[in-house]
Structure 1
Amino acid sequence: MKFVLSFLTVLAGFTPALAQATDATAPTPLEIWQEAPETVFSAQDTDLAAFEWLARPVVVFADSPNDPRFVQQMDLLAALPEELAVRDVVVITDTDPAAMSSTRTALRPRGFMLALIAKDGTVNLRKPFPWDVRELSRAIDKMPLRQQEIRDRR
């Protein structure tokens, strides 16, 4: 419950910035994310194509923000935000099936689903249950582009 309140606080802090994104001079969601990599985006406000080649979206779907699996997943992601930031991960949430966001239409979840999308836009992983940051990090670190990023940093 504590995380839900902090999640809503973070989301409320960035909602005005996301609303301004329709303005030509306002920052895009990606620019906001680059300034604060722990930012969580709503699927209704973002397009997966905006993150292509720049970030690895982790998309968390649920039928309700009160779904225990959704709450658990968000708690797990909030536990190690620095590990996600190192791997260029951005979190996108969709808890409103009636809204039929473009992300929901593309990935077609049934109830709760976690999807890891590579920087090239391909779906790398789909899970019907929560995963912790350690498991996500391992999956990301096995990706060829991530391995190249690690080599380039040396």
Structure 2
Amino acid sequence: MILRLLLIALVLAAPAPAQTPGAPDAPELSDLLWTARPLVIFADSDRDPRYIQQMRAIEGGMGELTEREVVVLTDTEPEAEGPLRRDLRPRGFGVVLIDIDGKVALRRPAPMQVREITALIDRMPSRRDETGSRRP
């Protein structure tokens, strides 16, 4: 069974402590290799307007992301120096998409719409193999 895990800090209501990558139930990137496409959202705080905007977009398009085996991971605590920050070395806000083979497919310093993310995934060779599409 494919690992499906959603680690989203819901910031629409009163911000709760974000689940950090160092938490016991948070997966390492190596745990997701060949099973999921991590979408990692970094921010220096869960109150960052770009983080809030990105999480709202993800919440609205989670069905499309789940269909593409996307696992959303967040890190809003730079002082914790968690494994995601050590591996990916973000600066402030950032969106990082990692393909199923573990290669970084996208780094963006600004929020993205889910349709942009899914369009990128759909053009990846790994996704075309999954869907049987021969279209480049």
TM-score calculated relative to the size of structure 2:
0.82
Structure-2 separation of matches of 1:55 and 1:88: 5
Q: Displacement of 1:46 after TM fit?
A: 2.4
Matching of residues 27-66 of structure 1 within 5 Å: 33-34=3-4, 39-40=6-7, 42-44=20-22, 45-66=26-47
Q: Give the equivalent residue in structure 2 for 1:5.
A: none
What is the identity, as a one-letter code, of the residue corresponding to 1:66? Answer: R
Q: Which has the higher contact order (CA 8 A, sep 6+)?
A: 2
Mapping of 1:87-98 within 5 angstroms? 87-98=68-79
Unaligned runs of 5+ residues in structure 2 are 9-19
Aligned to 1:136: 117
- Alpha-carbon distance between aligned partners in 1 of 2:112 and 2:61, rounded to the nearest angstrom: 12
- Determine the structure 1 residue equivalent to 2:16: none
In the other structure, the counterpart of 2:13 is none
Matched position secondary structure for 1:119: coil
**Aligned equivalent of 1:123:** 104
How many residue pairs get aligned? The number is 119
Gaps (5+ residues) in structure 1?
1-29
Q: Is 1:102 aligned to 2:80, yes or no?
A: no
Cα drift, residue 88 of structure 1: 0.2
State the one-letter code of the partner of 2:52: V
| Structure 1 stretches of at least 4 aligned residues deviating more than 6 Å after TM superposition | none
Q: Aligned to 1:43, what secondary structure does the other structure show?
A: coil
Residue identity matched to 1:138: A
What SS does structure 2 have at the residue aligned with 1:49?
Answer: helix
Higher helix share: 1
User: With structure 1 as the length reference, what TM-score do the two structures score?
Assistant: 0.73
Question: CA shift at 1:93, angstroms?
Answer: 0.1
- The RMSD of aligned alpha carbons is 1.7
C-alpha distance in structure 1 between counterparts of 2:7 and 2:115, whole Å? 19
Shift of 1:102: 1.0
Alignment match, 1:147: 128
